[in-house]
Amino acid sequence: MRSLSAWLGLALTSLVAAAPAGECAHKVKESVSPPRGWIKGSPAPTDHDIELRIALPQSNFAELEQHLWEISDPFHPRYGAHLSKEDVEALVAPHDDSVQLVEEWLASHGLAGDALSRSPANDWITVKVPVSLAETMLKTEYHIWTHAASGDSLVRTTSYSLPEHLVDHVDLVQPTTMFSRFKRMSTTYNSLQRQSSIMATDPGYIPDPSAYGGQVNASCNATITPTCLKQLYNAVAYEPAAAGVNKVAATGYLDEYANHEDLQMFYAALLPQAVGSTFSVVSVNGGLNNQTPAEAGVEADLDVEYAFSLSYPTPATFYTTGGSPPFKPDDLEPTDSNEPYSEWLSYMLSIEDPPQTISTSYGDDEQTVPYSYAKRVCEDFAQLGASRGVSIIFASGDGGVGDGDPDPATQECYSNDGRNVTEFIPGFPASCPYVTAVGALQYVPEIAANFSGGGFSNYFPRPSYQNSAVEAYLSKLAPGTYAGLYNPNGRAIPDVAAQGVNFQIFWDGSPYLVAGTSASTPSFSGIVSLLNDARIANSLSPLGFLNPLVYALGTISSPAFNDITVGNAPGCGTQGFNASVGWDPVTGWGSPNFGVLKDIVLGNTSALWSA
């Protein structure tokens, strides 16, 4: 029961909240330096619409995180015992007084009822308002900012304020200070080259002890296909047995459309038994999947062709999410949106039965996303892993230790905080400790691809599951190596790797070769989906958040991953980090051995130490 003083305090606070907005004292909530490479232009049009997403403090995220660690730890008694959706929502639901105060503030500006939309846990409130009202509510001024190198424009501000009594009841409001351009990983694919023939036909085999039957088709050194990946990662003999329950998905953003006809051509050439099968399309926030051939996306086709072929006949879904930050001043109906992860996450957290494996090949430099926003998006990923056992898999990036530019010669590795000092640039969301980041490999035997994104987060501290692996790697570096260029105590990426060069795809009706971590990511995801199939077929829970399992296996030197010890990924005017024995910030623990992993996840502990 509340004391009289508590009731009086709440009543007085409510009266302040209900007062006209202009009479409330405001306090700066967030302020950033003008971001490097962005030019401030004219004031934003007053009638330009913005979808403000307001994050309320989550009541008990620390407890949710503890649950996540325990149910993801293969040596913990609770391994695989995922929480219910309702349990997670109860843990992250904001306190009632936060909800009440924020709703009263919005109502004081005429925003209530159907004007508001809420996340399932009520920890996000979304409202569409014109710039003129947003400026009044946040005591700020929005301008049109243009990215000099690309020409992209955003409607943003570098500082905003809230009524003083709300500062502790709101974690963040966006879009305000976020200048992320949210792009495909280095144009998603590191390279694109049209093929004059369907595939290389080099005769013979390459010996590879960890591959299926101990060998790989020699043609795989010139062209990667689903057959190559199944041979390399020891998955040839497995037939999915839980296709009625297990599901796999790929995500699409920025008007990237997955073309059904291209997929059928891919299947006809490389997986004939799958011809006629297709994927479901789910639209999020008005996302489209235009089937006009010229509208097919290289990234979207790559993602669905590899994630879905490797896991065939597992039911597959392509999530197409509408909305992207760039503002077009000449658009007749301009609406500025948040970076689309938030839209997609909001949808995923609202559904009961999401796919168990989800592949994403998009991201941006970590420093372009305000810390407050990156933290909340990352915590939403944790909700998916904890409540529904979803394995969330992201590309680590294509710029080595650099800023995402695949050409080391043109990378600009400067801090975005006004200091303009040289430093390595990690990517986000790969740097989130609740997702699995995938680097890129090439050739047989495998070595690191020279563009594989890796490094250390400047936002997120190193999670405990990484401690021994990362410390072992850092201890092998010569004293002073890259001192001051990276944060040795940050979350390290990538976690794992897979082939990422010379992938055969069909796009716009023709065969092409592509490369990038955006090829590695759906490939690794396809293998994870097969592992989930094996568990579900044996009445076990899906794997969910993968990293504690991955690092546990790596630490005990299990043959579950093929260690990559050759190569490096240059960037920022340096040779970058090098691949080495054990975990490294270029290839993580290396590529998967499905046969060994399957035995392990089904409980055969003898597989931990013998291939």
**Which of 251-255, 267-271, 448-452, 542-546 has the weakest average pLDDT?**
251-255
Report percent pLDDT > 90 for the chain. 77
What would the mean pLDDT of 551-560 be, rounded to a whole number?
A: 91
Query: What is the structure's pLDDT at 406?
Result: 66
Tell me the C-alpha distance between 430 and 239, whole Å: 31
- Rounded-to-integer distance, Cα 71 and Cα 471, Å: 25
pLDDT above 70 (res 609)? no
From 104, 135, 262, 299, active-site residue: 299
The residue extents of the domains of the chain are 21-58+93-177, 191-608
- What percent of the chain is predicted at pLDDT more than 70? 89
Q: Between 414 and 203, name the one with better pLDDT.
A: 414
Binding-site positions read 563-564, 582, 584
Q: What pLDDT score does 533 carry?
A: 98
Residue 86 among the catalytic residues? no
pLDDT (average), residues 119-130: 95
Active site annotation includes 518: yes
Element (H, E) at 51: strand 49-55
pLDDT band of residue 558 (cuts 50, 70, 90) is: confident
Active-site residue, selected from the candidate residues 256, 262, 303, 446 = 303
Given this model, what pLDDT does residue 191 score?
A: 60
Cα separations in angstroms, 82 against 78, 99, 214, 358, 549: 8, 28, 37, 17, 15
Identity of the residue numbered 503: F
pLDDT digits (tens, 9 = 90+) for 578-587: 999 999 999 9
Q: How far apart are the first and last CA of the chain?
A: 61
| Average pLDDT over every residue of 180-196 | 61
Name the pLDDT band for 419 (thresholds 50, 70, 90): confident
Cβ-Cβ contacts under 8 Å for 113 (sequence gap 6 or more): none
Q: Does residue 327 register a pLDDT over 60?
A: no
Tell me, yes or no, if 510 is annotated catalytic: no
Select, from the ranges 28-42, 125-139, 310-324, 414-428, the one with the highest average predicted confidence (pLDDT): 125-139
How does pLDDT run across 357-398, given as a tens digit for each residue?
999 999 888 998 899 999 999 999 999 999 989 999 999 999
Annotated binding-site members for Ca(2+): 563-564, 582, 584
In this prediction the pTM is: 0.92
Count of beta carbons in the 10 Å neighbourhood of residue 50: 26
Does pLDDT of 334 surpass 60?
no
pLDDT, average across residues 70-84? 95
Q: Which long-range contacts (CB under 8 A, 24 or more apart) does 13-18 make?
A: 13/97, 13/101, 13/165, 14/100, 14/101, 14/104, 16/163, 16/165, 17/101, 17/104, 17/105, 17/108, 17/163, 17/165, 17/166, 18/104, 18/107, 18/108
pLDDT of residue 151: 84
Rounded average pLDDT over 46-74 = 95
For the segment 42-50, the average pLDDT, to the nearest whole number, is 93
Of 199-208, 416-425, 576-585, which range is least confident?
199-208
Average pLDDT along the chain: 90
pLDDT at 553: 95
Indicate which residue of 342, 372, 457, 518 is catalytic: 518
Q: Mean of the pLDDT values across residues 101-111?
A: 98
Helices 467-476 and 547-555 pack at an angle, to 10 degrees, of 50
Residue 194's pLDDT is what?
A: 75
* Distinct helix (H) and strand (E) counts, the chain: 14, 30
**pLDDT for residue 202:** 64
**1 pLDDT more than 50:** no
pLDDT of 320 above 90: yes
Higher-scoring residue by pLDDT: 201, 453: 453
CATH of domain 191-608: 3.40.50.200
Is residue 272 over pLDDT 50? yes
Is residue 298 within 8 Å of 305, Cβ to Cβ?
A: no
